[in-house]
Amino acid sequence: MFSIEKINLTQIYIINSIKLVELLKYFLSKSKALINKVFLVWF
């Protein structure tokens, strides 16, 4: 019983980690676009 719960928790942790990474990538790409716009305005 304990091992099954442990596996489920591990899967949840991995899925959450992947979601977090995807979210970070999304924000990075958004901020890159924003930075590029700022540079175009400034220079």
Extract the tokens encoding 10. Answer: 């591990």
Taking CA atoms, 18 is separated from 2, 9, 32, 36, 42, in Å, by 24, 14, 21, 27, 36
Verdict on whether the full-model pTM lies above 0.95: no
Query: What per-residue confidence (pLDDT) applies to 1?
Result: 57
How is 8-39 classified by DSSP, letter by letter? HHHHHHHHHHHHHHHHHHHHHHHHHHHHHHHH
Q: How many domains does the chain have?
A: 1
Count of beta carbons in the 10 Å neighbourhood of residue 39? 9
- Whole domain around residue 38: which residue ranges? 1-43
Query: What per-residue confidence (pLDDT) applies to 30?
Result: 93
Model confidence pLDDT, tens digit, residues 1-43? 568 888 899 999 999 999 999 999 999 999 999 888 888 887 6
Query: What per-residue confidence (pLDDT) applies to 43?
Result: 64
